[in-house]
A and B are shown apart, each in its own frame.
Chain A
Amino acid sequence: MISVQGLTKTYGGFTAVDDVSFTAEPGRVTGFLGPNGAGKTTTMRVLTGLTTASRGTATIGGMRYSDIPNPGLHVGVLLDASAQHAGRTGREVLTLSAKVMGLPARRVDEMLELVSLTGSESKRRVRNYSLGMRQRLGIANALLGDPSVLVLDEPANGLDPAGIHWMRGLLKTFADQGGTVLLSSHLLHEVEIIADEMVMIGNGRIVAQGTKQDMLAQAGGHGCFVTAEDGAQLRRALDGSGLAYAQAGEGFRVEAQPVQVGRLAVQAGIVLMDLRAADGGLERLFLELTAPTQREQLTEGAQA
Chain B
Amino acid sequence: MSAVAPSRTFDVSGTSKVPFSRLVSVEMRKMADTRAGLWLLSIIGLITIAVIVIFFFVTSGNADDRTFINFLNITSTPLGFLLPVLGILLVTGEWGQRTTLTTFALEPSRMKVIAAKTVAALVYGVATLLLAVLVAAVAASIGGATDAWGGDEIVESAKMLLVIVMSILQGVAFGLVVLNSAGAIVLFFVLPIAFNLVANLWGWLNERAMWLDLATAQTPLLGMDPATGMPLSGNLTGEQWLNLASVTALWIVVPFVIGLVRVQRAEMK
Interface of B, secondary structure class, is loop
- B34 on the A face (CB < 8 A): yes
Check if A83 sits within 8 Å of B30, measured CB to CB: no
Task: Indicate which residue in B11, B22, B29, B269 contacts A102 across the interface (CB closer than 8 Å).
Answer: B22
Chain B 70-107 interface mask (CB, 8 Å, partner A; 1/0):
00000000000000000000000100011101101111
Check if A88 sits within 8 Å of B8, measured CB to CB: no
Check if A74 sits within 8 Å of B15, measured CB to CB: yes
Known: A63-B12, A69-B15. A99 touches B105 (CB 8 A): no
Chain B 247-269 interface mask (CB, 8 Å, partner A; 1/0):
00000000000000000000111
Chain A residues within an 8 Å CB radius of B34: 85, 87-88
Chain B residues within an 8 Å CB radius of A227: none
Task: Indicate which residue in A45, A63, A86, A99 contacts B97 across the interface (CB closer than 8 Å).
Answer: A86
Check if B12 sits within 8 Å of A72, measured CB to CB: no
Which chain B residues in 8-34 approach chain A with CB under 8 Å?
A: 8-12, 15-19, 22-23, 25-26, 29-30, 33-34
- Residue of chain B at shortest CB distance from A126: B97
Known: A83-B99, A84-B97, A88-B33. A100 touches B22 (CB 8 A): yes
Check if B8 sits within 8 Å of A99, measured CB to CB: no
Which chain A residues in 68-122 approach chain B with CB under 8 Å?
A: 68-74, 77, 79-80, 82-88, 92-93, 96-97, 99-102
Check if B4 sits within 8 Å of A101, measured CB to CB: no
Check if B36 sits within 8 Å of A87, measured CB to CB: yes
- A49 on the B face (CB < 8 A): yes
Check if B105 sits within 8 Å of A79, measured CB to CB: yes
What is the count of residue pairs linking A and B with beta-carbon distances less than 8 angstroms?
A: 115
Q: In the docked arrangement, what's the CA distance between A66 and B102, Å?
A: 14
- B108 on the A face (CB < 8 A): yes
Q: In the docked arrangement, what's the CA distance between A31 and B108, Å?
A: 25
Check if B4 sits within 8 Å of A97, measured CB to CB: no
Task: Indicate which residue in B16, B26, B102 contacts A99 across the interface (CB closer than 8 Å).
Answer: B26
Which chain B residues in 229-256 approach chain A with CB under 8 Å?
A: none
Check if B93 sits within 8 Å of A85, measured CB to CB: yes
Chain A residues within an 8 Å CB radius of B146: none
| A175-183, A184-192, A258-266: which lies at the interface | A175-183
- Residue of chain A at shortest CB distance from B101: A83
Check if B26 sits within 8 Å of A100, measured CB to CB: yes
Q: In the docked arrangement, what's the CA distance between A49 and B8, Å?
A: 22
> In angstroms, how far is the closest chain B Cβ from the Cβ of A52?
8
Q: In the docked arrangement, what's the CA distance between A85 and B93, Å?
A: 8
Chain A residues within an 8 Å CB radius of B10: 1, 26, 60-61, 74, 148-149, 180
Check if A101 sits within 8 Å of B106, measured CB to CB: yes
Check if B23 sits within 8 Å of A100, measured CB to CB: yes
Check if B99 sits within 8 Å of A71, measured CB to CB: no
Chain B residues within an 8 Å CB radius of A179: 8
Q: In the docked arrangement, what's the CA distance between A176 and B2, Å?
A: 12
Check if B99 sits within 8 Å of A73, measured CB to CB: no
Chain B residues within an 8 Å CB radius of A85: 34, 93, 97, 99
Task: Indicate which residue in B7, B33, B99, B101 contacts A177 across the interface (CB closer than 8 Å).
Answer: B7
- A50 on the B face (CB < 8 A): yes
Chain A residues within an 8 Å CB radius of B25: 99
Chain A 195-212 interface mask (CB, 8 Å, partner B; 1/0):
000000000000000000
Check if B12 sits within 8 Å of A74, measured CB to CB: yes
Check if A68 sits within 8 Å of B97, measured CB to CB: no
Check if A174 sits within 8 Å of B8, measured CB to CB: yes
Which chain A residues in 29-86 approach chain B with CB under 8 Å?
A: 45, 48-51, 60-61, 63, 65-66, 68-74, 77, 79-80, 82-86
- B6 on the A face (CB < 8 A): yes
- A158 on the B face (CB < 8 A): no
- A8 on the B face (CB < 8 A): no
Task: Indicate which residue in B7, B19, B23, B104 contacts A178 across the interface (CB closer than 8 Å).
Answer: B7
Check if B102 sits within 8 Å of A97, measured CB to CB: yes
Q: In the docked arrangement, what's the CA distance between A22 and B175, Å?
A: 39
Check if B268 sits within 8 Å of A45, measured CB to CB: yes
Known: A88-B33, A92-B33. A51 touches B105 (CB 8 A): no
Chain A residues within an 8 Å CB radius of B29: 96, 99
> In angstroms, how far is the closest chain A Cβ from the Cβ of B229?
43
Check if A69 sits within 8 Å of B93, measured CB to CB: no
Q: In the docked arrangement, what's the CA distance between A101 and B26, Å?
A: 10
> In angstroms, how far is the closest chain A Cβ from the Cβ of B175?
16
Check if A83 sits within 8 Å of B98, measured CB to CB: yes
Could you jot down 15 A-B contacts, CB within 8 Å? A26-B6, A26-B8, A74-B12, A83-B101, A85-B99, A86-B97, A88-B34, A92-B33, A96-B30, A97-B102, A97-B106, A99-B22, A101-B106, A102-B18, A147-B8
Other CB < 8 Å A-B pairs besides A68-B108, A83-B98, A87-B35, 16 of them? A45-B268, A49-B105, A50-B105, A51-B267, A51-B268, A69-B18, A72-B105, A80-B98, A87-B36, A92-B33, A97-B102, A99-B22, A99-B29, A141-B102, A176-B4, A180-B10
User: What is A's interface to B at a CB cutoff of 8 Å?
Assistant: 1, 26-27, 45, 48-51, 60-61, 63, 65-66, 68-74, 77, 79-80, 82-88, 92-93, 96-97, 99-102, 141, 147-149, 174, 176-180
User: What is B's interface to A at a CB cutoff of 8 Å?
Assistant: 4, 6-12, 15-19, 22-23, 25-26, 29-30, 33-36, 93, 97-99, 101-102, 104-109, 267-269
